[in-house]
Every structure is written in structure tokens, then in C-alpha cells.
Amino acid sequence: MCLLQKYLFKMMLQVWLVQALVVFLTTECIGELVDTCGVISPESPVIQSGSNFTAFCVLKEKCMSVYEVNASHIIWKANRVLIPEEQYTVINATTSSVTFANTGLLNVQLICNILAFGQIEMNVYGVRMRTGFPPEKPKNLNCIVNEGKKMMCQWDPGRETHLETNFTLKSEWATEKFDDCKAKPDTPTSCLVDYSPVYFVNIEVWVEAQNALGKVTSDHINFDPVDKVKPNPPHNLSVSNSEELSSILKLTWINPSIMNVIRLKYDIHYKTKDASAWSQIPPEDTATTRTSFTVQDLKPFTEYVFRIRCMKEDGKGFWSDWSADASGITYEARPSKAPSFWYKIPSHTQGSRSVQLIWKALPPSEANGKILDYEVTLTRWKSRSQNYTVNDTKLTVNLTNDRYIATLAARNLVGKSDASILTIPACDFQATHPITDLKAYPKDDVLWVEWTPPSKAVRKYVLEWCVLSDKSPCIPDWQQESGTVRHTYLRGKLVESKCYLITVIPVYGDGPGSPTSTKAYLKQAPPSKGPTVRTKKVGKNEAVLEWDQLPVDVQNGFIRNYTIFYRTIIGNETAVNVDSSHTEYTLSSLTSDTLYMVRMTAYTDEGGKDGPEFTFTTPKFAQGEIEAIVVPVCLAFLLTTLLGVLFCFNKRDLIKKHIWPNVPDPSKSHIAQWSPHTPPRHNFNSKDQIYSDGNFTDVSVVEIEANDKKPFPEDLKSLDLFKKEKVSTEGHSSGIGGSSCMSSSRPSISSGDENESAQNTSSTVQYSTVVHSGYRHQVPSVQVFSRSESTQPLLDSEERPEDLQLVDNVDSGDGVLPQQQYFKQNCSQPKTSPDISHFERSKQVSLGSEEDFLRLKQQQISDPVSQSCGAEQMKMFQGVFATDAFGSKTEAQVERLETVGMEAAVDEGMPKSYLPQTVRQGGYMPQ
């Protein structure tokens, strides 16, 4: 496929080259350019804008045969852009036309081309086609004759034609024509004639305008050149004053030379040096030819500027240009106005006061000359006057507290001004009658003040004003107005965006009245700084915002209102307008536990300024809401606790029974009252009572053998059961024979009264302690027992003091018993066993539960053998005890053994622990 395309391209290229060669050879043979093959008609056409236009292209016969073309092969282009074929028209074999409808402003190149051999585009002919408008009739033709120069005429050419248009000025006398004056292309509205004008002879003038689309002529005018003269301005203007009259100045000048031909009139303008507007001398005063003029009614000692021009007296022609300016100063006159006079009292002491007299320098228009000095006179009632001559505008004097009359006059070279009179009232003077309806407003770049006068006649008004600022004191400026004035403007140098405090004081014949003040701005602006908002109080659904008033230095105008903008992070911004008099605002309908962003804008009449953005977060709970929840809960808890305490108090006995045993204080034990021979160390702060030996009754004898058998837990439980059975069967017991094996059949004798017996219940555990007794073959002569009505567990040293001593004195052949070991009677032996009082060493076990005691109790009831064994063993033990205890020893020996046993038990330093009926190593075992 690619090879076929390349082949076709080469074939076409060869054909084009052959055709181009034929065209070149044909051209050489003919000897002419290709352009001669045809022509466009019309040649270089100029078309009126908005009209239709048709162009024709005509081919020549010799070219048609050579290139094998006809009119149908013609194509048209405008500025190298192909014109659509719809605009073509083939008239015949040699002619083709193109039509343009409603042509606009065009300036294009139109080209006629042919397609030679049906393929090659050849340029036949081209023309420049232009569009435009025909000239309009010139209007307002006028001519001017400048003095000493030739005449020049001017006209209005009308609309722009967009074509080259020629303007020709034609002029003639009645009998002679002058040369035409052709206007230059750069100045097509005027033309300067080559001949000099002749005065007093009329001339006729007109203008012709012509371009490619037409020709037009203006109206003819006929005039005398002298009526078109513009004179030269007067020169050498000068100004002089007069010593006799301070209100006049005399002007002198030299007229132009045209004055020899025509009569002139003048126009004189003047103004003060610093003024911008000119004043005119009345025209009727200068309507004749002259060389000087005296200007009257001028201000004394004032510099004036003058200028002058002239024209033909009858008003025909033109005013000359203005002359050069000339200035002059009028002579001095006495001051025309008294100075503004006021006073201040900066300090006041007892009996005298310092008074500062101040006045304004007279402006030049009122001073009428240079002020040399000021004369001040102070007069007190029925006293001589005090005269002062001052070159300054202030005077400080010390006056008494009386009323004074002060006068002030300004003096210049000519004389003194009228006197200003000021009344300085006495110290006890009370100012009254203030003005009303004081207003201040800006207008025409000045600050106007107006007020309503008081009912009392006012001599004058004093206006004071100063700039309010937080950084600098208010330094007042002032001015004085006549008593008939109702409004005026402040004549000081005022600054925009500054707040002015304006005070108006009426001055009466007897002194000043009460002042009235207001604030105003010459021009307001947006604040320089926005307000800073902060939170005063934040609630769950509302927040109280507060802010400070903007300092006056940054307000730049009157704060009309504030706008608070607040929003959440994702919410829309909400705007709230607040009056400018407020300094706090409450935002309501807020969402709890939400971050809010707040900014505030202060607005004046000219705009607003945003303050910094502030954020706050509303709490999750409102104030008091947590307390409303916590306080009832706490009260409920307190009430519940109180009810619980009251319940426990009412059920204290039941609770005490289940939680802890009733452990009495050992110091209140009755043991000291029951045992008279108790050693002093057993005295628990009770009265020492000595009882005789005969007081001991209901004695149970226990024989302890040093048998190193291992005890069984069941034996320990038998001891507990033995103790319980004893308690349940007997009201009062000695505590020694309280087991089923060793109990005595006769009742115990108690030293307590009936009340104490009634208080002892089945739950009360009675304890007994053998103070000392014999051991095996050692029989003491006297047996001493201690008895206690208390349920308090006894210390080891109190329960078995003799064990500590007797164990140490045991026969070495039988072995030594360890200290603080408990033994029980073995009731499990048969009745016929030779070893009846066999005891074994027991392990330490924990206290059995109440169920264990009940189980053991039931076992004892159902086992009569065990009970009978315990009774027989108890009888045998009593017999042995009687033999060993009362056999061979004397009473003195018994007492000695008692003392030695007790001391040994105490000296061993055994711990005095009171544990509830439990078996522990180093503890005790109640019986």
C-alpha cells in the first residue's frame, strides 16, 4: 500500500512539473507577463460605504487558448481570501463578475485568478478596492485677522470620509479673485491666505471640499477685514498705590499699534494674591480707549494681581490675548476689627487667682497693615486701671477674686483698632443661660456648627474645640463669633478621622454663660482596629460576651453598631447586630459541648473593621445540673447509710453475737475478789482481797503424765464437746471439772450473787485457772485455785502458772515436757485399762464450726460408754489427786511451791494472748 502511494505521488509531481514548464515556455514565447492575460473593471474602484459593487474580470483570447481556460475557470480573492462562488457570475466565455452587497468600510486588494489546465492557479489581475463617504458641506466658516499678520480662515469639515479629501479656500473681491488657499493634510480645517488684508474693503470667502466620491461647496461669507481684527494685548502694565487712599490702586499700560487704525475697549481682571477666582472691572467703565485706570474699593494693605486685554470698540472682531500679570499692595489703614478676646483661669488660690488673657491675631484683611503691638487695660470696680502693652497674643496677670473689665486694642502704623471688651466675673459668679440644640456636621470639607440662641441677649459667642485622644491631653483651639450669629464653621486646621469636642459658650454683659458641648468628625473612616470580644460567662446553651469600647484614637468615626459573627467549625455563620452603647451581649440557643468561633465588627458611617477571632466551648452540663444529680444521690446514699446505722444499732446484740464474741475487759474481772491469795501480778486494778483456804470448793483433780503420745484431732474435739456439755448442764462451774470425763457430780459454789448467775447464759464460757498444784509424786500441802466470772480468755501465765515451773522440775528420767503444750484425758481407753489418766500431746487445730459442736454433742448423747468412762476416770483422778495433794507435804511447802511456780510462769515472759477456744502452739485450751 505504501509503495502504491509513493508511486502516485511521483506521477502527480511529474505532471505538475511538465505543466509549469509549458507555462514558462509559453510566457517566454509571448514575451509578456501573465498579468496581461486579463483585466479587472473598474480600475482601482472607490465605493461609497453601504452600496452594492460589482467587479468584472475579462480574459484575453491569446491566454485562453494557451492555458486552455475560459471564464468558468476564474476565481476571486479578497486579501488572499477566497470569495465564495455564490458571488460569481459567468457572463460569457471571457468575462466573469463578482458582486459585493452592502459594502462596509473596506480597504482590500481584489484579485482575479485562473486555473490553468484546470489545476494550476495563476494570477491574472488585481486592483485596490476602497470604500468611504463623499465630503459634507463645510460649515461655520470664519476668518480672523491677527494684528500684523495675514488673514486665516477656519471651518468645520463635517464627518470623516475615510477617503482622501481636499479642502480649498477661495476668496475674491467684487472685481478681483485671489489665489486659492489649499488646506494642508495635517490641518484640513483652516488655511492662511498669502496676501495681506485690506481694511475697509469687503471680501467674499468660501470653501470647496472634494474626494473620489464627490465635491461640495460651503456657504459664501462677505465681510470687511477690519471687523475681523484681533489686536495685540496691551503691554507694560504696572500697578501703584496711594498714601491718601488705602483702598485704591492705579493701573497704567501701553496700547497696541492697531489703536492708530481702530478704537479700543478694555477688559480688566483682578484678584488677591492667594485667591483663585478673578474679579472683573465693570465693562462700561473701560469701554473707551485709554492708557490707565484706577481700581477702587480694595482692601487696605492687601496685595492684588491684575491683567488686561482689548478689542475693537464696537465689539466686532476678537479680544486680544491677556497681558502679563502685574501686582501691587494697597496702603495701610487702621485695623478694621477688634481682636477676638478670651480668658482662662489656670490656677486659683485663697484671695487671688492667675488669669491668662488670650486673643487672636487679626488676619491681614482685618489688620489693614502690620500690627505693631496690643494694648490691654484691666479695670476693677472703683479702682485704677492697669495698662499693658504686649507684642504677643497672650498675657498672664494675677487678679483678686473681684470682678474685672478687660479691654484689648490692636495698633498698626496708621492707628488702633476698636477695643474688645471682656468681663472677668468674680469667683462666686454662677454661669447660666446655655445655648440649646447644638449640632456639628461636616459640609464642603469644613466642620459646621449651629445652635439655638438663649433667650438672654448675647454679646458674642466663643467656640472651643480640641482633638479627643487617649494618648494626649485635649489642647483647645478657639474662635469668636458675633452675638447675632447662629451658625458658623470652625476656621482651624482640622484633620480627618479625628474626634473633635466642640464647646459653645455664650458671653453676656456680666460674664460667660454655661457651656454646651458636642462631638463631631470632619470626615469619618472605618475603625483602625476591631473590638476584642471575650466571654464573661459560658453556659450550656448560652454565652455572655463582653468587650471594651474602642479607644477614641482608633474609632475614626462614630461607632453606630456592632455585629457579632459566630459559628461552629462545620456550621454556617450567624450575625447579630448590637447597639453601640452596649458592652456585652448574650448568645442564646447554643449547642452544649460545642466549640464556637466568634468575631466582632465595629461599624462607623464609612464602614467596619473586624476584631480578632475568639473561641470558646460550651460545657456539657449547665451550672447546677451536676449538683442537681449528685446532691440527690448523696442525700439518698446518706439516708440509706443512716437507716443502715439505725438498723444496726437496733440489732446490735444480734450482730455482736454473729460477728465477734463478748470479750470483757480483764481489768473488770472478779477474780481478784474471789481469790484472796492471788499474787500481785494477777491483780487487774481491782481491790486486793485475801480469802482463806477454806473458800476453795468444787475442786477437780487432774493428773498430768509426761506421755509423749501423738494426740488425735478427735481428742481435741472431745475436749470442746466436754466443755460445752459442762456449760449446758451447770449454771456456775469452777471450770476445772467441766468435761464429761472429769466433771464433779456436785454443784459448784459461786461467790457471785443471783443477778450474776442470771446473766450467765449457755453461750457464756467459764474459765478456771489452777494457780499451782502437784505433779505426779510431788504433792503440795496447799492447793490454790483462781476463779473468774468473766468470759474473757485468760493468759497462759494466768491459766497454768504452775506449768512453767513444774515442767522445768520434772524428773529427768521421765523426760522433759515442752513448754505450752496442752494435754487431754484420753477417754477412748477401755474401762478396764490400767492407764486411766493417760494424756497425750495434741496438735494445733483451728476452731471447729458450730456444726462440728452439734455433731459431737449428738455423739456424746448416743455414746453412754464414753460418758461412763469419763465419770469413772474423773473418780480415779480425784482419788489420786487427794492422795498426792494432801499426803506428805506441809502447808509451808505448799505456799513456797505456789510462789515459786507463779514467779517462774511470769518470768518466762509468755505471751498473754486471748484467743477464742482454739488450740494453738503457745496458746491455751479452755476446759
Q: What is the 3-state secondary structure (H, E, C) of 870-925?
A: HHHHHHHHHHHHHHHHHCCCCHHHHHHHHHHHHHHHHHCCCCCCCCCCCECCCCCC
- Rounded-to-10 torsion of CA 598, 603, 606, 609: -30
HSE value, Cβ hemisphere, 13 Å, CA-based, for 103: 21
Give the confidence band of 121 by pLDDT, cuts at 50, 70, 90.
confident
Give the confidence band of 669 by pLDDT, cuts at 50, 70, 90.
low
Q: What is the DSSP string of 646-689?
A: HHHHHTHHHHHHHHS-----GGG-SHHHH-TT--GGG--SS---
Residue 421 reports pLDDT greater than 70: yes
- Each residue of 108-118: pLDDT tens digit? 888 899 888 77
C-alpha pair distances (Å), 358 with each of 341, 377, 451, 793: 6, 13, 25, 114
Give the confidence band of 100 by pLDDT, cuts at 50, 70, 90.
confident
Length of the chain: 927
- Positive or negative, the CA dihedral 70, 71, 75, 79 is positive
Return the pLDDT at 183. Answer: 92
Arithmetic mean of pLDDT, 510-527: 95
* Angle CA 515–521–525, to nearest 5: 160
| Cell matching residue 455 | 433667650
From the list 309, 478, 278, 472, the residue with the least C-alpha distance to 394 is 478
Return the pLDDT at 635. Answer: 92
Ordered strands of the 81-82 beta sheet? 46-48, 120-132, 107-116, 74-78, 81-82
- Each residue of 758-794: pLDDT tens digit? 343 334 444 444 444 444 455 555 444 444 444 555 4
Q: How far apart are CA 675 and CA 784, in angstroms?
A: 8
Arithmetic mean of pLDDT, 755-760: 39
- Scanning 53-128, the segments in alpha helix (DSSP H) are 61-67
Q: Sort 867 into a burial class: Cβ within 10 Å, 0-12 / 13-18 / 19+.
A: middle
| Cell matching residue 599 | 468575631
Strands, E, within 486-594: which ranges?
Answer: 487-489, 499-508, 511-512, 516-521, 533-538, 543-547, 561-568, 574-579, 584-587
C-alpha pair distances (Å), 750 with each of 666, 673, 696, 744, 789: 19, 12, 10, 15, 9
Crossing angle between the packed helical segments 864-886 and 850-862, to the nearest 10 degrees:
90
- pTM as predicted: 0.49
First and final C-alpha spacing in the chain: 133
| Cell matching residue 439 | 449640632
* Mean pLDDT of the residues in the chain: 75
DSSP state of 176: -
b/e sequence 385-405, b meaning 16+ C-beta within 10 Å: eeeeeeeeeebebebeeebbe
Return the pLDDT at 710. Answer: 42
β-sheet bridge partners, residue 341: 359
| Cell matching residue 788 | 473468774
| Cell matching residue 503 | 464647646
Residue 559 reports pLDDT greater than 70: yes
Higher-pLDDT residue of 365, 832: 365
- Residues 143, 164 contacting (CB under 8 angstroms): no
Q: How far apart are CA 713 and CA 706, in angstroms?
A: 19
Q: How far apart are CA 45 and CA 128, in angstroms?
A: 7
Arithmetic mean of pLDDT, 416-421: 94
Question: What phi, psi does 322 have (nearest 5°)?
Answer: -70, 145
- Residues 608, 602 contacting (CB under 8 angstroms): yes
Q: How far apart are CA 229 and CA 231, in angstroms?
A: 6
Tell me whether strands 303-312 and 326-329 are parallel, antiparallel or unpaired.
Answer: antiparallel
Residue 203 reports pLDDT greater than 90: yes
Arithmetic mean of pLDDT, 178-202: 91
Return the pLDDT at 708. Answer: 43
For the ranges 6-10, 318-322, 343-347, 783-787, the maximum mean pLDDT occurs at 318-322
Question: Where do we find the cell 473689665?
Answer: 405
Question: Coil, strand or helix: which one is 87?
Answer: helix
- Each residue of 429-446: pLDDT tens digit? 999 999 999 999 999 999
Return the pLDDT at 675. Answer: 52
- Each residue of 284-310: pLDDT tens digit? 999 999 999 999 999 899 899 999 999
Return the pLDDT at 722. Answer: 38
Residue 597 reports pLDDT greater than 60: yes
